[in-house]
Structure formats: structure tokens, C-alpha cells
């Protein structure tokens, strides 16, 4: 079974802090994604990566950056956390073959609160 | 325009009955894929079923089936014989093809909260 793990289930940070959210997958997937989920808005893509050191902006990249130094690990960085970044953060990975991306497998999520 | 629309924010169904969750989509790409995910209260997203735009048959996975109507751009999820454990949020998502810059990303709808009652 595909396993996607996230470093924390719950996190509380103060405004202005630098926050790191880590995600690890064990299935050698090429693609990795970071989403945030807010009530009534569904899942919105922040960034994704299709290879080591490669990344593309999603729909809401402002205030975030990412890092992918190894294939299995994808980090989301909040350079200076703000209260409007309080949200559920979901990491996902997927196989990429034949020019298309297959179903995404998700981690358990990190509920981040910024006070 | 919304690429994925789920018009039912909440649904109730009696245990053992079937329920249909609606999803309409909008794309000009001839090659696309449609996915359904389940999110229980624990928060983890669980992949349920997939339909490719060129698939001739409607996808089925156990009690889940996808009612794919290409001309109407709809991809409704049908859950047969509902169980209490089916109570969850359900999301429809679309992957577009390379023609529209897709190939990797999924676009999600806003979800439908399903509650199964005794």
C-alpha cells in the first residue's frame, strides 16, 4: 500500500514564525503535491513537484515556498506565518506515466493554527 | 467558470438505500480523467473511483459506480446499499490533459457531506 506521512497532525505557531511541514512517500512516485483545505472551498493546490528540485506553482502559492531535495520528501515552508494561513494542509503523491498523472494518495493532514 | 461543480453541500440517505452525489465538470480538453475521493471525519482523503474520458464503460468499484454522461459533462457517484461508515465528505476532481496544461494537477470540487441514517 502507498504510504504518505506528514510530520505533524496538529501544529500551533505564532504569527511571523517560519513553519516547515514535511511530507514523505514510500512508493517512488514522481509527483508530490501540497494542498490547503478550508470549509466551503474544497482543496486548493499550493505547489506541486514533478521531479527532484522541480516545482510548479499551484493556484494559491503566495506566502508559501517548497523544497524537494529527495524524491520521497516534499516540504512546504511558510516563511512568515500569518493568521490567514490557519488551515488543514494535505500532502499527496501520484505516479506519473505515459504523460498523465494517476490517482493521488494523500497523507493524514496537518491542522495548522497560527495565533 | 468553475471547472468542477458539486451542487449538493449536504445529503442524507437511509441505511441500505442507494444515493447519487452529483458532479459536473467543464473542460475543452478531449483527454481528461475524473476522480472521486472520500474524506471521513478523521481527515484522510481516500481514493474511490476513476473514469477516463475515453473509457467506454462506466467505472465500478464494489458498491461505488460512476454514472458518466459525457455529453452532459457529468460524473455522478452512485453508492449502493449505503452503510453508516459511508458518512463522510465526498469530493469530485478532474485531471485535464496536456492540451490545457494539465497532465499532473487535479482540480477539486467543494464537496458533498453525506450522512447515512438508521
Q: pLDDT tens digit string along A1-28?
A: 669 999 999 999 999 999 999 999 999 9
Which of A88, A101, A108 is closest, CB to CB, to B95? A101
The DSSP-derived string for B72-101 is TTEEEEEE-S--GGG-EEEEEEEEE-GGGT
Average pLDDT over chain B reads: 91
pLDDT, position A40: 83
CB contact under 8 A, A50 and B104: yes
pLDDT, position A47: 94
Which of B61, B89, B106, B110 would you mutate first to test chain A, the one with the most A CBs within 10 A? B106
User: Nearest chain A Cα to B7, which residue?
Assistant: A40
Rounded Cα distance between A18 and A63, Å, is: 11
pLDDT, position B1: 60
Q: Which residues of A touch B103 (CB under 8 A)?
A: 99-101
Is pLDDT at B92 greater than 80 in this prediction? Answer: yes
Instruction: Find residue B51's DSSP bridge partners.
Output: B34
User: B39-50 pLDDT, tens per residue?
Assistant: 999 888 999 999
CB A53 within 8 A of CB A68: yes
Is pLDDT at A51 greater than 90 in this prediction? Answer: no
Residue closest to B7 by CA, chosen among B30, B25, B19: B25
User: Closest approach of chain B CAs to the CA of A105, in angstroms?
Assistant: 7
CB B66 within 8 A of CB B1: no
Amino acid at each position: 500500500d502507498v504510504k504518505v506521512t506528514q510530520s505533524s497532525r496538529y501544529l500551533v505557531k505564532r504569527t511571523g514564525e517560519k513553519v516547515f511541514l514535511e511530507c514523505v512517500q514510500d512508493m517512488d512516485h514522481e509527483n508530490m503535491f501540497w494542498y490547503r483545505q478550508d470549509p466551503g472551498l474544497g482543496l486548493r493546490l499550493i505547489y506541486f513537484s514533478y521531479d527532484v528540485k522541480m516545482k510548479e506553482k499551484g493556484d494559491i502559492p503566495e506566502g508559501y515556498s517548497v523544497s524537494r531535495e529527495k524524491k520521497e520528501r516534499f516540504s512546504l515552508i511558510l516563511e512568515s506565518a500569518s493568521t490567514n494561513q490557519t488551515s488543514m494542509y494535505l500532502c499527496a503523491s501520484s505516479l506519473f506515466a505515459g504523460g498523465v498523472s494517476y490517482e493521488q494518495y494523500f497523507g493524514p493532514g496537518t491542522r495548522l493554527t497560527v495565533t | 467558470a468553475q471547472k468542477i461543480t458539486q451542487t449538493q453541500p449536504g445529503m442524507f440517505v437511509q441505511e441500505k438505500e442507494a444515493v447519487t452525489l452529483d458532479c459536473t465538470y467543464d473542460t475543452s480538453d478531449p483527454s481528461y480523467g475524473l476522480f472521486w475521493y472520500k474524506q471521513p471525519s478523521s481527515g484522510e482523503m481516500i481514493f474511490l473511483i476513476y473514469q477516463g474520458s475515453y473509457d467506454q464503460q462506466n467505472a465500478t468499484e464494489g458498491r461505488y459506480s460512476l454514472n458518466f454522461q459525457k455529453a452532459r459533462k457529468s460524473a455522478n457517484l452512485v453508492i449502493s446499499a449505503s452503510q453508516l461508515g459511508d458518512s463522510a465528505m465526498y469530493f469530485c476532481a478532474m485531471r485535464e490533459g496536456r492540451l490545457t496544461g494539465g497532465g499532473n494537477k487535479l482540480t477539486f470540487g467543494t464537496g458533498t457531506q453525506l450522512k447515512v441514517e438508521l
